[in-house]
Amino acid sequence: MAETQLLDIKEIVRDSFDEQEVEQLGVKLSQLEPEEIAVALEAMPLEQRISTWQSLHPDEQIHALSYMRDDARENIFKQLEAPELSVLVERMDVDDLIEMLDELPAAVYQEACSKLDATDKEWLATALAYTDEQCGRYADHDVLTIRNNAKIRDAIRLFKKLNEDAEYHDALMVVDRTGRYVGMLLSISLLGQPSHLPIVEFIDDEAPIVDGEMDLDQGSDIVARSGYTALAVIDEEGKLLGRLSIGEALENVRRSLESQFMHTAGLDETEDLFAPVMNSAKRRAVWLGINLLTAFLASWTIGLFEATLQQVVALAVLMPIVASMGGIAGSQTLTLIIRGLALGQITPQTYWTLLRKELGVGLINGVLWAAVIAVVTYFWFNDLIIGTVIGLAIVINILVAAASGVVIPVLLEKVKIDPALSGSVILTTITDVIGFFVFLGLGSLLLLP
């Protein structure tokens, strides 16, 4: 039985810090799946990462790299000398080169490409004709194809040639004379069949097909739902480009959801846990700068009411409550809608139902918490009007937040801006500015003599 369950990432990382253990680390790691090695390498600071990675067999090195995040992988490449990198890249196959295109130094990449044979050069050109968000770019060329006029014995011969590490290869892709995809040939359908029969009557032509121009997320969903372990990826003429397996689909689903999560904090999904400080600082600075603009806008709103604040300092004390309740309520709605958009569940027919529902939820919670806050405030400052002012401001701000939580992400998606990335900044700006304006405005009206 395999040992995967017993060796965990924490143990591997611990060993990488221990001089006595580090020698055997290569042996231990080679018992793991490349996905696991990649996760373990990403969990190490750069120094340990490079020495651990170097303890791997060259083929394992490449495998692990192909499963790592872009940034973590680039941070390995950067620590290699040019000759070392060249030797490594020469061992890569064309799928690896496509995957690592953006992280490899241009010169190294060009050199490796020039050494490819004609078939591989053609694969490469075909893949690069698609964008890095399309299925065509990532179609796996490690695909077993068979002509539709072949016999069962040919198919069996192909299956027998599969190497031990091959994953999700329980079917052959059937093509016609011109390379057009015809269907799949499942290993199960051939069991117990006489080997001289033509395969044609065993072809499964019911399997969904992935279009090369399809978005990678959509293609991955189709594979995931199809129940097949891999589907054919075809070009516009119906020619087989390669395949998209359930393993890759799972990886894509994971990355896409992880990036949604990371985007809410203005981070990129590829961000390396142990990126050099300067790189990290640079990337995050932009997000802080954008948020600073919105904070200045909020401050400017408050500045409009300087005179009021000077006379009723309690308003200054209570400001964060108004802003915070609006922000939290709004982000609940926003998060729900962003998930819905990602799943394709938000449709024109249901906008109004959603808006009404979220406004309803906002009204109930707005009134409930406004009452609580008004009472607490009354006892705190012993002033009924301040209680009324903050209560009203809370209700209004939570309603505005609910509406914004629905409208902002829907509009952002319409103009093709990622709502997970920009939604929360815009929402917070609105709830801050409106919250402060309503609260201090009402305060000026009702509290000033």
Site for a copy of itself in 200-229 (CB under 8 A): 205-209, 211, 214, 222, 224-227, 229
Nearest-approach distance from CB 217 to a copy of itself, in angstroms = 12
| Residue nearer to a copy of itself on the CB measure, 124 or 228 | 228
* Bridge partner residues of 416 (DSSP): none
**To which residue do tokens 């690896």 refer?**
96
Determine the interface stretch with a copy of itself among 21-29, 86-94, 116-124, 349-357 (rule: CB under 8 A).
Answer: 349-357
Nearest-approach distance from CB 213 to a copy of itself, in angstroms = 11
Nearest-approach distance from CB 42 to a copy of itself, in angstroms = 6
Q: Examine residue 316 and tell whether it contacts a copy of itself (CB under 8 A).
A: yes
| Site size with a copy of itself, rule: CB under 8 A | 132
Nearest-approach distance from CB 86 to a copy of itself, in angstroms = 30
- What is the amino acid identity at position 120? D
Binding to a copy of itself (CB under 8 A) within 81-110 occurs at: none
Binding to a copy of itself (CB under 8 A) within 393-432 occurs at: 428, 432
Among 306, 379, 382, 417, binds a copy of itself (CB under 8 A): 306
Among 135, 354, 395, 407, binds a copy of itself (CB under 8 A): 354
Note the residue count of the chain: 449
Among 23, 24, 30, 45, binds a copy of itself (CB under 8 A): 45
Determine the interface stretch with a copy of itself among 111-119, 133-141, 166-174, 408-416 (rule: CB under 8 A).
Answer: 166-174
Among 385, 265, 269, residue whose Cα is nearest residue 335: 265
Nearest-approach distance from CB 270 to a copy of itself, in angstroms = 11
Binding to a copy of itself (CB under 8 A) within 59-78 occurs at: none
Asked if 42 and 72 count as a contact pair (C-beta separation under 8 A), the reply is yes
Among 82, 197, 372, 448, binds a copy of itself (CB under 8 A): 372
Determine the interface stretch with a copy of itself among 2-10, 94-102, 105-113, 407-415 (rule: CB under 8 A).
Answer: 2-10
Among 349, 415, 416, 449, binds a copy of itself (CB under 8 A): 349
Determine the interface stretch with a copy of itself among 22-30, 53-61, 113-121, 342-350 (rule: CB under 8 A).
Answer: 342-350
Binding to a copy of itself (CB under 8 A) within 117-146 occurs at: none
How far apart are the C-alpha atoms of 310 and 199, rounded to whole Å?
A: 87
Among 82, 288, 384, 448, binds a copy of itself (CB under 8 A): 288
Determine the interface stretch with a copy of itself among 102-110, 113-121, 360-368, 407-415 (rule: CB under 8 A).
Answer: 360-368
| Residue nearer to a copy of itself on the CB measure, 101 or 367 | 367
Determine the interface stretch with a copy of itself among 8-16, 55-63, 122-130, 408-416 (rule: CB under 8 A).
Answer: 8-16
In the structure encoding, which two tokens stand for residue 164, read together?
A: 């031990």
Determine the interface stretch with a copy of itself among 91-99, 110-118, 330-338, 408-416 (rule: CB under 8 A).
Answer: 330-338
Binding to a copy of itself (CB under 8 A) within 10-39 occurs at: 10, 13-14, 16-17, 33, 35-36, 39
Among 50, 116, 361, 392, binds a copy of itself (CB under 8 A): 361
How far apart are the C-alpha atoms of 63 and 245, rounded to whole Å?
A: 17
